[in-house]
Amino acid sequence: MTAALEYCNEIWNKRYFWSSLVWVDLRRRYRRSWLGIGWSLMHPIIMTVVFCSVFCQLFGQDVRDYAPFVLSGLAFWNFISGVTGDGCQSFYASEHYIRQHPAPLAIYPLRTTLGMGLHFLMALCVLLVMVWAIRGPSNLATLWALVPALALLFMMGWSVAICLGVVNVVFPDMQHLVQVGLQVLFYTTPVFYSAKLLEGHGVDWLVRWNPLAAALDLIRDPILNARLPSAHAWGVAGLATMILGTIAAWILSRVERRLIFHL
């Protein structure tokens, strides 16, 4: 236990180092592009337009309900695919630091997760503006629930990035497998369709016990439905985060010193 606290303390001591890495990553990604950081928002917005024009035509969904719904789903999914896809690369991307500079390994997946988290926050701001423009600020009373929800999502993302990062160092073809897995998850998570569509078809358990669907509910309920997320959603997402966090901590305790030999 003291070892774990010491480890966290060491991460905190290096905060200026990893936060400068996050900052440099952001700059590098958008340098010399006229939209700059706006590009990270363009992707979910464009996809929202595409989904809206298809689904509102085909299924007669109301744009005013569907656009915020799908934008929140896609912004969330961008974060998930970022921490898994880039998470796989998190140790390789920082290889030159690991080779010369002893520091807690967890800061490198943290760098990836924080970068993705910042993009997600920006997309959430766009979403809030959209919701307020459509319905007025009716959700102000429930927005506080986003704070613990985002903290939980952040821990989930960090744990996933640590696990996949380590596995990908040992087995470099992991990231292809992850891409396939992400595709499957994308369709089994109510990103662009409502979970209600599945009810009565015998597959609603797929969404009910899917931690990603639960985490997405934690984000959607306070913003879109102006209500606090259900205890079920907190439970499923919280349990999944605890399991992932434990696995990540266990993996780190095994490979912390030895990962460098595999790089």
Partner 1 sequence: MAHILLDNVGVAFSVRQHGRMTLKEFVVRGMFRRKVNPKIAVQALRDVNIDVRDGDRLGIIGHNGAGKSTLLKTIAGVYPPSAGRCVTQGRISSLFDVTLGFEPDATGWENIAYRGYLQGETPRTIAKRIDAIAEFTELGDRLGMPLRYYSTGMTVRLGFAIATSIEPEILIIDEILSAGDIGFQQKARERMESMIRTARVVVLASHDLPTLEGLCDKVMWMDHGTVRMYGPASEVIAAYSGRAPALAQAA
Contact residues: partner 1, CB under 8 A: 13-14, 16-17, 20, 24, 27-28, 31, 96-102, 170-174, 177, 257-258, 260-261
Question: 247 with 163: CB under 8 angstroms?
Answer: yes
- Least separation, in Å, of the C-beta of 171 and partner 1? 4
Helix 107-135 × helix 15-30 angle, to 10°? 60
CB of 162 to partner 1, least distance (A): 18
Q: Report the nearest approach of partner 1 to the CB of residue 94 (Å).
A: 11
Written as one letter, the residue type at 90 is S
3-state secondary structure string across 63-122 = HHHHHHHHHHHHHHHHHHHHHHHHHHCHHHHCHHHHHHCCCCCCHHHHHHHHHHHHHHHH
Q: How far is the CB of 190 from partner 1 (least distance, A)?
A: 30
User: 189: left (phi > 0), else alpha (psi -120 to 50), else beta?
Assistant: beta
Question: Measured from the CB atom, is 165 or 211 closer to partner 1?
Answer: 165
* 255 vs 259: CA distance, rounded Å: 5
Residue 36 has which token pair? 């700059």
> Would you say 20 or 246 has its CB closer to partner 1?
20
Nearer to partner 1, 62 or 173 (CB): 173
Closest to partner 1 by CB, 3 or 58? 3
Centre a 10 Å sphere on the Cβ of residue 50 and count the other Cβ atoms it contains: 13
CA dihedral 71, 209, 229, 218 (to 10 degrees): -40
Integer Cα distance of 91 and 165 in angstroms: 6
Query: C-beta of 172: minimal distance to partner 1 in Å?
Result: 5
- Nearest approach in angstroms of CB 22 to partner 1 is 12
Q: Which is nearer to partner 1, 7 or 97 (CB)?
A: 97
> For residues 149 and 178, which CB has a smaller minimum distance to partner 1 in the complex?
178
Q: Which of 161, 192, 181, 163 is nearest to 79 (CA)?
A: 161
Task: Specify the residue, 74 or 163, whose C-beta has the smaller distance to partner 1.
Answer: 163
Distance from C-alpha of 118 to C-alpha of 93, rounded to nearest angstrom: 19
Shortest Å distance, C-beta 168 to partner 1: 10
Give the whole-angstrom CA distance, residue 164 versus residue 112.
Answer: 12
Question: Both tokens of residue 16?
Answer: 């200026």
